[in-house]
Amino acid sequence: MIESPWEYAPAPESRDIANLKPSYQMFVDGEFVDGGGEPLKSVNPATEEVLAEVASADESDVDKAVRAARRAFDDTWSTMPGTERAKYLFRIARLVQERGRELAVLETLDNGKPIKESRDADIPTAAAHFFHHAGWADKLAHAGYGPDPRPLGVAGQVIPWNFPLLMLAWKIAPALACGNTVVLKPAETTPLSALVFAEICQQAGLPPGVVNILPGAGDVGAALVAHPGIDKVAFTGSTEVGKQIQRTVAGSGKKLTLELGGKAANIVFDDAPLDQAVEGIVNGIFFNQGHVCCAGSRLLVQESIAEELLEKLRARVRTLRVGDPLDKNTDVGAINSAEQLAKITELADSGDAEGAQRWTSPCPLPDRGFFFAPTVFSGVHQSMRIAREEIFGPVLSVLTFRTPAEAIAKANNTPYGLSAGIWTEKGSRILWAAQQLRAGVVWANTFNRFDPTAPFGGYQESGFGREGGRSGLEAYLDV
Amino acid sequence: MSDTRTPERLAVAKTYKLYIGGKFPRSESGRVYPVHSAEGKFLANAAHASRKDVRDAVAAARKAFPGWAGATAYNRGQVLFRIAEVMEGRREQFATEVAAAEGLHRKQARAVVGAAIDRVVWYAGWTDKIATVLGAANPVAGPYFSFSVPEPTGVVAVLAPQQSSLLGLVSVVAPVLAAGNTCVVVSSAERPLPAVTLSEVLATSDVPGGVVNVLTGRAEELGPWLASHADVNALDPTGAPEDLRAELARAAADTVKRVLPVRGEREPDWTREPDIQRLRAFTEVKTVWHPIGT
């Protein structure tokens, strides 16, 4: 820790704002009900305290929810004029905004992400997704999929724990806008904001069954995906599970979209504005504790500036404040679960074993909770596990290159293809590199930008289908 | 004057081969299989492609991909139009083969050939419109220029329709090419001859070698190798039997391959004007962001 008279005093957000309840029920057919599964205990990863007990679904609950969604699809939602559907979505967007502070605190308690990120990124962007898609509901004939594109039916959606409410918005907003009804399974470790979202659906007067939320573990997701009453499956999560889902859905006629893992290359050329690049690198890998599928986890630096850049990078990373996620000054919060912390630790250890040089930020870590100090590996080779496997944590692997062509070859040397970054002042090189990179999202002189109007999604083993923008509607239309 | 009559001319029989990397090799396996007309008359022996031929064809398609994907849309459109021009010159040959393969009357076969050529022309006109129609400038809430462009998916494995030997074939191959992909095509097993003639057209119409690779053989045999091949990015299982499609889709999951959704036992009506579904299916939308500022 840097001894400085200018240390920040703690600026904690009040946890009371979250309106945390001791127990949460699941949401089926417009009502909160108990589940048939063994209840989950949602844990605050920053303190390891149990936040609440959450109902969990069993197979019969999955069946009930799918039936409710089917009834709602047939009776109201698919037959309702688009203009009416739009108004429901606008209502939801507004309610998310109104309850934004509550949702942000709840999300931070449940997930461990810093309050400044849940407050300034997750929740506003979630609201923006509903607002954007609301406008599509009555304009689908103009989306370029024919004069009268039809919804698919009931969508089964499974989302991860890294952006619980935002991923929910990415899934539910386009599904509803296109006239589908949904059964959504939030992640086992972060179900709370989805259940508050269910309250918002009630407040918005959404017809029963249009949105159903079933907390549970992987078995609930598997049952949902395999349910014959589902017409569409949307999944965000690991590539491994994505492959299983693709196998399950094969031959069923269900439409499938997958947003899977990544191992993004963040490429810094020798003419890049270094201070800006350092900010982008930090944002790319330490945003959300690195729990981002499109995180810039492989830094590719041109050899001639590697030393200078690494020095600046370490100096900057040293200033990141790791700790209480509810503190408004915290930059890096808690790792979401003990299991994830173990995975990060194991992969980082493999970096040592394979001969990379580890540098760890000397920041103090809290005594309790799941934390991992920001870590930078240099001297990384392409064959090392830390250069090939998704770590999903605050661990950066640094590789070097000499020529632009080598940078592209190294960047594309992965089965993943979700995102990439380019840092250079040369416009023509940006456009060239963006063209050469096999990745669904390319950030040039910036990183980790998201917007409901901008399609997001991967190449190759990072999955297929897009979310956001006009392209994203295809996933929820029978076209 | 002698009354000995000139003997009737003996036709030059064709030996049919595969089309891989712009060349016409025999199957590595040395196998051939007999092809009969719809009436059961022996027409020829066609090359019976093997797993090794699949691998060679995928390698050729991969090698050709950067050049074809990197060509200008205008250029790709011209090359596709050139295919139609060369096909036009071979209309009679195609009509003869389609008539024999599908048991059509001469007039019907001519109509099918005409429709196939028109189909290529239709897709030739799409190459420089895909980006306009499927791309976008994204009005993001912030000081960034964000745009989305469609790009080819990569190497596409196409199991061509079994019934429609030419119109069906061009209806599935042309969109793959128009979008900038390269492909490995397994022709109709019972009706492969129009596909072989199309290979000859492709070889003489400015299509770079390896952009299209045509294997005559059985979708049931070759499909699983293509579906599981790690260097194939997408699969069109149209010509696979319905009960095999699920198996192919499962094999494709190991590499998260894009699989065109194909439903039902019957082939689509290829005479209907297509929409852009096949162009979209083999296209990736890439979104690029850059800050705006002074």
Contact check, Cβ <8 Å, B246/A251: yes
* Model pLDDT for residues A333-389, shown as the tens digit of each residue: 999 999 999 999 999 999 999 999 999 999 999 999 999 999 999 999 999 999 999
Q: Are residues A149 and A28 in the same domain?
A: yes
pTM metric for this prediction: 0.95
* Model pLDDT for residues A70-95, shown as the tens digit of each residue: 999 999 999 999 999 999 999 999 99
Mean pLDDT for B15-31 is 97
Which residues on chain B are in Cβ contact (under 8 Å) with A259?
A: none
Q: Cα(A18)–Cα(A44) distance, rounded to whole angstroms?
A: 13
Tell me phi and psi for residue A417, to 5 degrees. -170, 55
What's the confidence (pLDDT) of residue A318?
A: 96
Are the beta carbons of A336 and A320 closer than 8 angstroms?
no
Q: Are residues A112 and A33 in the same domain?
A: yes
Number of domains in chain A: 2
Asked, for residue A115, whether it belongs to a domain, the answer is yes
Joined together, the tokens standing for residue B290 give 């850059």
Q: Are residues A272 and A360 in the same domain?
A: yes
Q: Does B1 score more than 80 pLDDT?
A: no
Asked, for residue A102, whether it belongs to a domain, the answer is yes
* Model pLDDT for residues A319-332, shown as the tens digit of each residue: 999 999 999 999 99
Are the beta carbons of A149 and B275 closer than 8 angstroms?
no
Mean pLDDT for B222-245 is 97
pLDDT band of residue B37 (cuts 50, 70, 90) is: very high
Asked, for residue A355, whether it belongs to a domain, the answer is yes
Q: Does A22 score more than 60 pLDDT?
A: yes
Q: Cα(A78)–Cα(A57) distance, rounded to whole angstroms?
A: 26
Q: Which CATH number covers residue A367?
A: 3.40.309.10
Contact check, Cβ <8 Å, A246/B249: yes
Reduced to 3 states, what is the DSSP secondary structure of residue B166?
coil
Which residues on chain B are in Cβ contact (under 8 Å) with A247?
A: 250, 253
Q: Are residues A296 and A272 in the same domain?
A: yes
Q: Cα(B185)–Cα(A413) distance, rounded to whole angstroms?
A: 27
Are the beta carbons of A163 and A108 closer than 8 angstroms?
no
What residues of chain B, 270 to 289, have a C-beta less than 8 Å from chain A? 275, 277, 280, 284-289
Which one is catalytic: A259, A390, A467, A474?
A259
What residues of chain B, 165 to 184, have a C-beta less than 8 Å from chain A? none
Q: Are residues A247 and A269 in the same domain?
A: no
Nearest residue of chain A to residue B135 (CA atoms): A471
* Model pLDDT for residues B103-113, shown as the tens digit of each residue: 999 999 999 99
Tell me what percent of chain A is helix, strand and coil, each rounded to the nearest 5: 45, 20, 40
What's the confidence (pLDDT) of residue B263?
A: 86
Shortest Cα–Cα distance, A447 to chain B (Å): 8
Joined together, the tokens standing for residue A288 give 């959300």
Which parts of B41-105 fold into alpha helices (H)?
51-70, 73-89, 91-102
Q: Are residues A116 and A244 in the same domain?
A: yes
Which residues on chain A are in Cβ contact (under 8 Å) with B235?
A: none
Residue A166 DSSP class: H
Shortest Cα–Cα distance, B172 to chain A (Å): 17
What's the confidence (pLDDT) of residue A8?
A: 81
Q: Are residues A133 and A220 in the same domain?
A: yes
Best interface-test mutation with B: which of A231, A443, A456, A473 has the largest number of B CBs within 10 A?
Answer: A443
Contact check, Cβ <8 Å, B140/A453: yes
Asked, for residue A10, whether it belongs to a domain, the answer is no
| Pairing verdict, β A375-378 and A395-401 | parallel
Shortest Cα–Cα distance, A331 to chain B (Å): 22
Q: Are residues A228 and A269 in the same domain?
A: no
The verdict on whether A259 is a catalytic residue reads yes
Q: Are residues A242 and A298 in the same domain?
A: no
Shortest Cα–Cα distance, B207 to chain A (Å): 22
Contact check, Cβ <8 Å, A453/B146: yes
Q: Are residues A270 and A256 in the same domain?
A: no
Q: Is B245 on the interface with A (CB under 8 A)?
A: yes
Q: Are residues A41 and A156 in the same domain?
A: yes
Contact check, Cβ <8 Å, B280/A474: yes
Q: Cα(A463)–Cα(A237) distance, rounded to whole angstroms?
A: 10
Mean pLDDT for A30-44 is 96
* Model pLDDT for residues A132-172, shown as the tens digit of each residue: 999 999 999 999 999 999 999 999 999 999 999 999 999 99
AA identity, residue A159: I
Q: Residue A219's domain spans which residues?
A: 15-260+459-478
Short-list A408, A444, A440, A406, CA closest to A424? A444
Q: Is B33 on the interface with A (CB under 8 A)?
A: no
Q: Cα(A440)–Cα(A460) distance, rounded to whole angstroms?
A: 9
Domain ranges of chain B: 17-35+43-291
State whether CATH 3.40.605.10 applies to domain B17-35+43-291.
Answer: yes
